[in-house]
Amino acid sequence: MKKQVLNALAIGIFALVVCNRAQAVQCDFHAMTPGNVSTSIAADGSDFLYSYTVGAISNCDLDITSFALPYLPSADITSIESPEGWSYQISAVDSFGLGGNAGTLTWTAADGYGIPETVAGSYLSGFSYDSPYGAVLEVPARVGDALGQYDVYGEDPAIPTAPPVPEPSGLVLSMLGLLVGAFCLRRARAASAA
């Protein structure tokens, strides 16, 4: 009898370990793409309101607790808003590899305010900011849970970008072209008058 109890206990422990390991592998697999992001851009007076909704798409026992986007200082982002229980931080670290002076805007959830991954389709809105620029750049984004940070699934969200500023050499060449054109026009008129 004692041997049967020990065997049953060993089988139970084995099953528990295997099931937990399978669940961990499943969570790890789903955690590679635990969320997606949708973007909404609306005119807001003289600015544009950029709003993001983050959704969970996996069935894991973890919560999405962070959401990160590239941050471009030239986009003049203001009025950054966070959902209840979330806060934001701007870092000069270019964690997306965009180059230049790009940084990272990260929202982080306080305990108990994450987006549950336990039910695929859970979502949270309220991530937003204003920018005077409506020109957009589609960029990668990341969501994070207790296992790490992961690229979002599906379409890349849009962020504002300042319109390109012409280089001084381009302006000089344009001015030179206008001067040459004016000179040629003047010579043509002088030749026709003579």
HEC per residue, the chain: CHHHHHHHHHHHHHHHHHHHHHHHHHHHHHHCCCEEEEEEEEEECCEEEEEEEEEECCCCCCEECEEEEEECHHHCCEEEECCCCEEEEEECCCCCCCCCCCEEEEEEECCCCCEECCCCCCEEEEEEEEECCCCEEECCCEEEECCEEEECECCCCEEECCCCCCCHHHHHHHHHHHHHHHHHHHHHHHHHHC
- Give the other-Cβ count within 10 Å of 10's Cβ: 10
CATH code of the region 32-160: 2.60.40.2230
What is the per-residue pLDDT for 33?
52
Q: Where are the domains of the chain?
A: 32-160
In angstroms, rounded to a whole number, what is the distance separating the alpha carbons of residues 164 and 135? 10
What is the per-residue pLDDT for 23?
39
Indicate whether 6 pLDDT > 50: no
What is the per-residue pLDDT for 54?
87
Stated pTM of the model: 0.67
- Tens of pLDDT, residue by residue over 132-154, are 998 788 888 888 877 777 777 77
Q: What tokens were used for 45?
A: 């007076």
In angstroms, rounded to a whole number, what is the distance separating the alpha carbons of residues 113 and 116? 9
Indicate whether 25 pLDDT > 50: no
